[in-house]
């Protein structure tokens, strides 16, 4: 009966509508059917048959039932609206609770880089929210396809799964990590063969496993188990999925921060080694050259030999001061408040005295006025390293050192007429020297070029950017 019209029949037995009644249905003669409508929506019908006094349904009867149907339509519409509002209120309340928990967890995730603290706070909050009795987190070991149990929560059992390690694709834990999608299992069921013996006796009914996904893939999984047979609703599924994604991203960021700190430590160690090599170690090497020279002059010119020894003692005192200053601020002080030209002039003078090699320096100090200290220091150490390599390896008779500026650059050239070397064979066997020079130049935006030929000598060209604004 889908029409809006009331049906009033005096004798159903003589009417075509007397069809469709089930076997054993009481016999009916008189009939009154009134539809229940509210606006454009039909909620049902009111059917009446065979009045107690046996009389026919009258127009007054029809009007009374139609009025009752109208009130019924309003009451049903209001009841359904009330139910909808109540359900929306419940949904809104749960969403607010979800947002409150998300906000609380977000505060922890944003303020902590401790993975263990993040996992503990998150797993405890999720278990309390969804009323799950057991929770576990498996994390992926770096650069592998292995998942290691990282955290267990739940007093009813000490372990959910048989194993503390799973590879991708193995078991429900591994399958979740491999697929990158949440997996669900009901108990009893096939999943029982993967559970720990204690979990089998705990009367668990549901298990949910969510992947912890970061930008570079799955980082682990979170497992939840409960003895409640009620399935998760849409809000709970969305909440758990959101939390899993958040935790995955935070774990990835925490690991990246740890990796960055490790790289920073390695870079700092490399820098310290480079500074020590270019500064303190080169100074000690220069003292060794002075003492070796003094030893050769011991018999021929004792007075000059004694002067050289005294000079060595002074240089050692200066080196000790450099070491002390380096320990205090991790920066070797090699320019000693000089400009670049004066500092390199000092290097050239020390090189000439210590090696007895003819060396010339060309350049105009005024052209380098305004060169930033870090760039001047880089060129100073490159020159120091180049002269040290010449003293140790080149066996040269003459060295030229030239400083100049052109085209937005400050340039340093150190050339010798020594024995040269095979660059491809030697560049990795000279300690830190060649790589240090390149690193120092590139750290300030410049670079170096090394030209060498066996028996013909070596030229080192270094440059750093130097604009008029600087």
What is the Cα–Cα distance from 116 to 254, expressed in whole angstroms? Answer: 11
Q: What's the DSSP call for residue 366?
A: G
What is the Cα–Cα distance from 405 to 412, expressed in whole angstroms? Answer: 9
Collapsing DSSP to helix, strand or coil, 48 comes out as: strand
Q: What is the pLDDT of residues 269-289, one digit of tens each?
A: 666 666 666 666 777 877 888
Q: What is the pLDDT of residues 303-350, one digit of tens each?
A: 888 888 888 888 887 777 666 655 544 444 466 667 889 889 988 988
Q: What is the dihedral of CA 367, 371, 373, 377, to 10 degrees?
A: -60
**HSE of 321 in the Cβ direction (CA atoms, 13 Å)?**
9
Are residues 45 and 36 in contact, defined by beta-carbon separation less than 8 angstroms? yes
Mean pLDDT for 172-193 is: 90
Distances (CA, A) of 74 to 39, 42, 68, 85, 229: 9, 11, 10, 16, 38
Mean pLDDT for 456-466 is: 93
Query: Across the strands, what pairs with 136?
Result: 152, 223
Are residues 416 and 360 in contact, defined by beta-carbon separation less than 8 angstroms? no
Q: Which long-range contacts (CB under 8 A, 24 or more apart) does 444-447 make?
A: 444/372, 444/374, 444/375, 444/378, 446/375, 446/378, 446/409
**At residue 411, does pLDDT exceed 90?**
yes
Chain mean pLDDT for the chain: 82
- Mean pLDDT is lowest, of 67-71, 266-270, 392-396, 457-461, for 266-270
- Specify the pLDDT at position 331: 45
pLDDT band at 200 (very low <50, low <70, confident <90, very high): confident
Query: Mean pLDDT highest for which of 21-25, 183-187, 423-427?
Result: 183-187
- Mean pLDDT is lowest, of 162-171, 193-202, 215-224, 232-241, for 232-241
pLDDT band at 465 (very low <50, low <70, confident <90, very high): very high
More confident: 43 or 335: 43
What is the Cα–Cα distance from 384 to 391, expressed in whole angstroms? Answer: 11
Helix H or strand E encompassing 451: strand 447-453
**DSSP structure string for 173-231:** HHHHHHHTS-EEEESSSGGGGGB-HHHHTTT--EEEEEEEEETTEEEEEEEEEES--PP
Q: What are the phi and psi torsion angles at 330 (to 5°)?
A: 55, 35
- Specify the pLDDT at position 229: 82
Q: Residue 231 corresponds to which tokens in the numbers above?
A: 């399935």
Query: Mean pLDDT highest for which of 323-327, 368-372, 398-402?
Result: 398-402
Q: What is the pLDDT of residues 211-265, one digit of tens each?
A: 988 877 888 899 999 888 887 777 777 777 877 777 777 777 777 776 666 776 6
Q: What's this model's pTM, rounded to 2 decimal places?
A: 0.44
Query: Across the strands, what pairs with 460?
Result: 414, 450
What is the Cα–Cα distance from 252 to 247, expressed in whole angstroms? Answer: 8
Find tokens 């993967």 and name the residue.
Answer: 194
- Specify the pLDDT at position 328: 43
The number of angstroms, rounded, from the C-alpha of 435 to the middle of its chain's C-alpha atoms is 31
Q: What is the dihedral of CA 89, 91, 95, 100, to 10 degrees?
A: 50
Size of the chain in residues: 470
Q: What's the DSSP call for residue 161?
A: B
Q: What are the phi and psi torsion angles at 222 (to 5°)?
A: -115, 130
**At residue 7, does pLDDT exceed 70?**
yes
Rounded to the nearest 10 degrees, the angle between the axes of helix 433-443 and helix 234-276 is 120
Distances (CA, A) of 383 to 279, 312, 445, 450: 11, 21, 17, 13
Mean pLDDT for 85-114 is: 70
Mean pLDDT for 27-35 is: 89
Structural domains of the chain sorted by starting position, each given as residue range(s) with its CATH number in brackets: 7-87 (3.30.450.40), 113-257 (3.30.450.40), 352-470 (3.30.565.10)
- Spell 90-107 as b/e; 16+ CB within 10 A means b: eeeeeeeebeebbeebee
Please give the sequence-ordered ranges of beta strands (E in DSSP) within 28-124, or none if there are none: 31-38, 41-49
């Amino acid at each position: 009966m889908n029409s809006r019209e009331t049906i009033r029949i005096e004798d159903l037995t003589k009417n075509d509508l007397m069809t469709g009644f089930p076997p054993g249905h009481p016999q009916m003669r008189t009939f009154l059917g009134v539809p229940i409508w509210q606006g454009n929506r039909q909620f049902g019908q009111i059917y009446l048959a065979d009045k107690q006094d046996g009389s026919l349904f009258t127009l007054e009867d029809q009007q009374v039932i139609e009025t009752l149907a109208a009130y019924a339509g309003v009451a049903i519409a209001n009841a359904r609206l009330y139910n909808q509002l109540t359900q929306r209120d419940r949904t809104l309340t749960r969403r607010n609770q979800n947002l409150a928990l998300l906000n609380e967890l977000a505060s922890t995730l944003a303020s902590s880089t401790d993975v263990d603290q993040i996992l503990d706070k998150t797993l405890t909050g999720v278990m309390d929210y969804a009323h799950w009795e057991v929770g576990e987190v498996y994390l992926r070991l770096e650069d592998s396809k292995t998942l290691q149990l990282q955290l267990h929560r739940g007093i009813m059992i000490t372990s959910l799964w048989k194993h503390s390690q799973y590879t991708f694709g193995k078991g429900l834990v591994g399958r979740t990590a491999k697929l990158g999608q949440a997996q669900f299992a009901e108990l009893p069921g096939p999943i029982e063969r993967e559970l720990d013996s204690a979990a089998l006796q705990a009367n668990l009914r549901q298990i949910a496993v969510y992947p912890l996904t970061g930008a570079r893939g799955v980082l682990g999984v979170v497992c939840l188990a409960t003895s409640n047979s009620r399935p998760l609703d849409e809000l709970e599924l969305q909440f758990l999925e959101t939390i899993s994604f958040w935790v995955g991203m935070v774990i990835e960021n925490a690991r990246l921060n740890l990796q960055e700190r490790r790289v920073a430590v390695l870079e700092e160690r490399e820098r310290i080694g480079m500074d020590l090599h270019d500064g303190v170690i080169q100074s000690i090497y220069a003292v060794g050259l002075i003492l070796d020279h003094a030893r050769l002059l011991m018999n021929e010119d004792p007075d000059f030999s004694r002067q050289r020894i005294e000079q060595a003692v002074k240089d050692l005192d200066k080196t000790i001061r450099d070491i002390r200053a380096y320990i205090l601020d991790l920066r070797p002080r090699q320019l000693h408040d000089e400009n670049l030209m004066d500092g390199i002039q000092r290097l050239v003078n020390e090189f000439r005295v210590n090696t007895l090699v003819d060396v010339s320096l060309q350049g105009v100090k005024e052209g380098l006025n305004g060169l930033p200290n870090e760039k001047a220091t880089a060129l100073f150490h490159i020159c120091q390293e180049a002269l040290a390599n010449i003293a140790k390896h080149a066996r040269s008779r003459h060295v030229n050192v030239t400083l100049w500026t052109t085209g937005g650059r400050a340039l340093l050239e150190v050339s010798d007429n020594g024995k040269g070397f095979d660059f491809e064979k030697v560049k990795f066997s000279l300690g830190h020297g060649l790589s240090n020079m390149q690193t120092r130049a590139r750290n300030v935006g410049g670079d170096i070029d090394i030209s060498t030929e066996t028996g013909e000598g070596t030229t080192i060209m270094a440059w750093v950017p130097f604009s008029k604004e600087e």
